[in-house]
Structure 1
């Protein structure tokens, strides 16, 4: 599973890079929090952000962990800090943003399958999440809750000057080459320069040389594979992974899972399968098992009313769909 973050020791403290979609199709915040918790409580942290956001629950957990950290935290918005990433940025004691970078805030969103009651419950949960996010933005900026709520509802993209005027950042830095190698088309108000830059590969901003004897925690050698046989990967190489391909594959898998569950008459099971990252073979087997448990044993001794009509095996339908979608 690919990592969307890097935490490494530097001569003047610790550098944390979040240069991808937070938590999506990779590790959750659990690994991040474990590494962060292993740092000395008073360690100074430089947090560098270039992210379209991701899991809001992971972001809230990261924000809370950073706020508990007693050491000084400086946040650098290297390209964009959108959605959940903008909330993480608010944990900084000092937030610095280049002139041509962007910070975006919007309402949280989610996907739900189920009954009307399930959907009402999800809507209520999203309202509560928004309230929590508003408090974090307001604490940093001093902007009234009502104004922040309106900015979120409108999906507002702030350049450095706007962000400084509203109190979301503390200082403006010199412009940088704007690069954001991830999908921004899903955002309805993404600035043209961000959309244009989204197709370009990017590298983390240059920082001080790594001190001798310090090893990047994400590039520790695998004892089963000697270092001579395996290429090393620094943070810039990690961030140049074709995330669009990974995301497309994940979306295709999700659609196949949902289609199988619908055909099986068990649409409510799709969310569980996706949460558990179950493969299509396992999805099919578990749906067949669920169908077998739910289907009564009807034999010739229990004649059914009406004219007999030829039927198609439910298992054949699932197998054919699996073959098509898989």
Structure 2
């Protein structure tokens, strides 16, 4: 069987580069192509799991986008992070680390936020595995999505030119008995303290400046995010 030849492009990251415009083709395998009646549409996972990336038609046949990205050690988060999304991402991180513990992993983000606990679970896994995990923002990295972006490997945290980054203090909805509300408020305060100190470590900024920036919603351009220390560079196309 002749292996289909299809060119799919990806961004190739390099350390110590603040503006980067080199494109390289993704590696494809014949197993990425198959006969499926669900091409051109998202495959809805069962039992509420995050949707699988759609298959698309190519000259070589239907192409499984999820397999192509995974084979090239790319994980895509394009929705709010909840426990199911965290489960999928952590599983992918651990699997890729097991396959090759010396090869870098890229996490592409277009993420408006999500559960603080779920985001911290993903960050803990990124820090725990041996491969370096770079992050790239497409579109938006807001709220806890910005925490994931900034939590990537130093020197491998990037954003596209038109991306937007938004940081703020963690949100919490309290309700119930007075004692329950008191405990929830205490947990929210501790969570904010934890997140603020993580931003201090990620950016090199003082705790006072981080708290000033996160007191309310703070929207940043990529240049502002780079100046603050949330990212290391801006990715640009050659066009």
> Structure 2 CA distance, aligned partners of 1:53 and 1:136?
16
User: 1:98 deviation in Å?
Assistant: 2.0
- Higher percent of residues as helix: 1
Task: Quickly say closer, same or farther: Cα 1:9–1:71, change in 2 above 3 A.
Answer: farther
Q: Structure 1: give runs of 5+ residues left out of the alignment.
A: 176-326
TM-score, normalising length: structure 1: 0.49
Question: 1:76 pairs with 115, 121, 136, which one?
Answer: 136
User: 1:47 deviation in Å?
Assistant: 0.8
Residues matched between the structures, number: 173
> Structure 2 CA distance, aligned partners of 1:46 and 1:168?
16
Equivalent residues of 1:4, 1:23 under 8 A apart: no
> Structure 2 CA distance, aligned partners of 1:3 and 1:82?
19
Q: Which residue of 2 aligns with 1:131?
A: 193
Q: Which residue of 2 aligns with 1:144?
A: 206
Q: Deviations over 1:235-267 (max 9, x none)?
A: xxxxxxxxxxxxxxxxxxxxxxxxxxxxxxxxx
> Structure 2 CA distance, aligned partners of 1:151 and 1:44?
31
> Structure 1 CA distance, aligned partners of 2:229 and 2:200?
9
Q: Which residue of 2 aligns with 1:3?
A: 50
User: 1:99 deviation in Å?
Assistant: 2.4
Equivalent residues of 1:81, 1:102 under 8 A apart: yes
Higher relative contact order, structure no. (Cα contacts within 8 Å, ≥ 6 residues apart): 2
> Structure 2 CA distance, aligned partners of 1:4 and 1:134?
32
Q: Which residue of 1 aligns with 2:228?
A: 166
Residue correspondence of structure 1 range 176-255 to structure 2 within 5 A: none
- Higher percent of residues as strand: 2
SS of residue in 2 equivalent to 1:39: helix
Matched, 1:157 2:214: no
SS of residue in 1 equivalent to 2:96: coil
Q: Which residue of 1 aligns with 2:102?
A: 42
Question: 1:117 pairs with 156, 164, 179, which one?
Answer: 179
Higher Rg of the two aligned structures: 1
SS of residue in 1 equivalent to 2:73: strand
> Structure 2 CA distance, aligned partners of 1:114 and 1:80?
34
Equivalent residues of 2:146, 2:167 under 8 A apart: yes
Q: Which residue of 1 aligns with 2:76?
A: 17
- Aligned-residue RMSD, C-alpha: 2.2
Equivalent residues of 2:112, 2:142 under 8 A apart: yes
Q: Which residue of 2 aligns with 1:106?
A: 168
